[in-house]
Chain A
Amino acid sequence: MMFEKIKKDYLEAVFDTDGEKAMRVIRDAVAGGVQPEDIVFNVVVPTLDLMVKAFAENMDANLAQHYMTAQIASDVTEEMIPKFKKNPASGGTIVIGTAYGDFHSLGKMIVSGCLKARMIKIVDLGVNVAAERFVGEALAAGAHVIAISAMMVHTAHGEKGCQGVRKLLKEKNLENKIKIIVGGAPFRFDRELYKTVGADANADDGVTAGKIIENLIREVLE
């Protein structure tokens, strides 16, 4: 019952893009004796899942809400993890970056913020990442997923982006070990584009991407 009330208040604050209120809800809960592990796994992560569901059902969700959701989830998780009784189990590893020639980092930041709460290790390659680097760094980190953000048609569709990564994974026989997810405006305007460029999955927004990446990691591990 207590978790339901905390979750409700936290969800409301995130939906209203009220960062201060969201953090106050969390701090009050901790002061009231709620364990840091419960804050992350029974409040923040279920709220992310509720946001994913809400975004899927409600076309009026907007970029500011996505940003705020990720930022708060990231801030709360960073504040709670040092207070955990033991180190949390890893949810897998991903490498993330923007496609070659693309300098738009907002989508990448939103995805990373949401993944942190899911205990997924993120290797952030930054912006303007070549296909060879995506694959090389994924191998070095033992990553299960390569996440590529592209906000422009030529970086989403071009051979130096996802198509190049797919080609390399195929050549190195890594397609069953590393999955590719793409995101960004061009993929929202053409729902089939992710298949054309050789990705395994596409996410409409950064918050939803967190959930899809979690599923992709599970697929690889199975």
Chain B
Amino acid sequence: MISASQRLAAALKGERLDRIPVFCNLIDQGARELGMSIRQYYSRGANVAEGQLRLVKKYGHDNLWSLFYVGREAVMLGCDKINFPDDGPPNVADFIIKTPEDIKKLHIPDDIYSHPEFQEEIECIRIMRKETEGRYPVIAYLTSALTLPCILMGMEKWFKLLLFGPAELRDELLNKCCEFFRKHLAAYKKAGADVFLYSEAFGSTDFVPMKMFREFCLPWIEKDLEGVDPQGMVYYCGSSRLNPVIDAILERTRIEAFYPGPLDDAAESGRILNDRALFAGVFNDIRLIEWTPGEIRSEVKRIITAGMKSKKFIFGTSVIPCCVPETKIRVLLDAALEFGVHERR
């Protein structure tokens, strides 16, 4: 029987097994599976592992997430106020950088792997690997140097520093964030994750003009990824579009996979990439709230039909909101598993 890991490995090489890989980003839903509050669920790596394993068994998709919530990095760097809602992802509730002096004081731990706050992630990955024996790729979420300040000082203050300076202070913060990213990546690799989602909101022209992307952001992206083994690295801009920057990223980095935003056109991603790298056709998850089962199936079919013209293609979701009922998740996944089957040659 073909495993999810084999399916992904084949897609990366442009080979065809039974069907395309189907990545489904069910994160907070693990708490519901275990009958726990969001706070309780994320307090232990064992909970997250169990939640992810149950979700994969239930819906049949091809990926396991080691992500707890965006904001864990801030916790590792000293944030002690996280908002845990009942019905959505946890959220940084207080920023550790409030003044320029806080940037100077920001200390990046020498070793993230042995950091007390990383131990639950290690346990989560250990359990997932043991239970699945490598049959499923375990995904790690990593925040780029340019994006990390958003959860350390808030978007508003970060934009001000980024666009108005002072440049020296901005670069001091970025150097520290770059150091954190590289150490965080090393820790996830040591823990046994297989796929590394490089989350770079400022790597999209939805965030910054193309001129700024090329002249300012791209060099920081290069610095983050300098000397990094490209195996398993995925370029991702949150929900923002990335088709306009694909060529630049391919020219300047060794990235081998792209996870576009839901507003990127999968057919266009395929045309730009022309099988030079793997990409996902990404479903706009928010529409699951309103769409009928028929509309969901039709949209899944449209994305997969467009994407499967390329050899290196997977189907994916953005992040499915907690309020989406299980019946609709089932419709989405069943459609992806059905339409993603390769024709026998």
Give the distance to chain B from A125, nearest Cβ to Cβ, in Å: 15
A128 to B156, CA, bound (A): 15
A110 to B212, CA, bound (A): 20
B residues in contact with A196, CB < 8 Å: 289-290
The CB with the most chain B CB atoms within 10 A, among A60, A105, A189, is that of A189
Q: Does A34 contact B (CB under 8 A)?
A: no
**Mask of A151-182 contacts with B, CB within 8 angstroms, 1/0:** 01111011000000000000000000000000
Evaluate contact between A101 and B155: CB separation under 8 angstroms: no
Give the distance to chain B from A202, nearest Cβ to Cβ, in Å: 13
Interface residues of A in 127-171 (CB under 8 A from B): 128, 152-155, 157-158
Evaluate contact between B290 and A17: CB separation under 8 angstroms: no
Selected interface stretch from A3-11, A46-54, A62-70: A62-70
Q: Does A190 contact B (CB under 8 A)?
A: yes
**Mask of B161-196 contacts with A, CB within 8 angstroms, 1/0:** 001100000000000000000000000000000000
Evaluate contact between B321 and A106: CB separation under 8 angstroms: no
Evaluate contact between A105 and B212: CB separation under 8 angstroms: no
Evaluate contact between A101 and B154: CB separation under 8 angstroms: no
Evaluate contact between A101 and B286: CB separation under 8 angstroms: no
Evaluate contact between B155 and A64: CB separation under 8 angstroms: no
B residues in contact with A158, CB < 8 Å: 87-88, 323
A residues in contact with B286, CB < 8 Å: 153, 186, 189-190, 193
**Nearest chain-A residue to B84 (Cβ)?**
A101
**Mask of B132-154 contacts with A, CB within 8 angstroms, 1/0:** 00000000000000000000001
Q: A62-B205, A158-B88, A185-B239 are in contact. Are A68 and B163 (CB under 8 A)?
A: yes
Count contacts on B: residues with CB < 8 A to the other chain. Answer: 32
A36 to B164, CA, bound (A): 24
A103 to B81, CA, bound (A): 12
Evaluate contact between A190 and B289: CB separation under 8 angstroms: yes
**Mask of B301-325 contacts with A, CB within 8 angstroms, 1/0:** 0000000000000000000011100
Q: Does A19 contact B (CB under 8 A)?
A: yes
Q: Does A192 contact B (CB under 8 A)?
A: yes
Evaluate contact between B289 and A152: CB separation under 8 angstroms: no
**Nearest chain-B residue to A105 (Cβ)?**
B156
B residues in contact with A68, CB < 8 Å: 163
Evaluate contact between A155 and B92: CB separation under 8 angstroms: no
A185 to B206, CA, bound (A): 12
Q: A63-B207, A154-B85, A158-B87 are in contact. Are A190 and B164 (CB under 8 A)?
A: no
Q: Does B34 contact A (CB under 8 A)?
A: no
Evaluate contact between A189 and B83: CB separation under 8 angstroms: no
Chain A interface secondary structure, helix, strand, loop or mixed? helix
Evaluate contact between A103 and B91: CB separation under 8 angstroms: yes
Q: Does A104 contact B (CB under 8 A)?
A: yes
A residues in contact with B83, CB < 8 Å: 101, 103, 128
Q: A60-B205, A62-B207, A64-B163 are in contact. Are A154 and B155 (CB under 8 A)?
A: no
Which residue of B160, B206, B323 is within 8 Å of A153 (Cβ)? B323
Q: Does B116 contact A (CB under 8 A)?
A: no
Give the distance to chain A from B21, nearest Cβ to Cβ, in Å: 24
Give the distance to chain A from B231, nearest Cβ to Cβ, in Å: 31
A63 to B208, CA, bound (A): 6
Give the distance to chain A from B78, nearest Cβ to Cβ, in Å: 17
26 A–B contacts from the bound complex (CB under 8 Å): A62-B206, A62-B208, A63-B206, A64-B163, A71-B164, A101-B83, A101-B85, A101-B88, A101-B91, A103-B83, A103-B92, A103-B154, A104-B154, A106-B154, A106-B156, A152-B88, A153-B88, A153-B321, A154-B85, A154-B89, A158-B323, A189-B284, A189-B287, A190-B284, A190-B286, A190-B289
Contact surface of B with A, Cβ cutoff 8 Å:
83, 85, 87-89, 91-93, 154-156, 159-160, 163-164, 205-209, 212, 239, 262-263, 284, 286-287, 289-290, 321-323
Q: A153-B323, A190-B290 are in contact. List 7 more A-B contacts (CB 8 A).
A: A63-B207, A64-B163, A71-B163, A71-B164, A153-B88, A153-B286, A193-B286
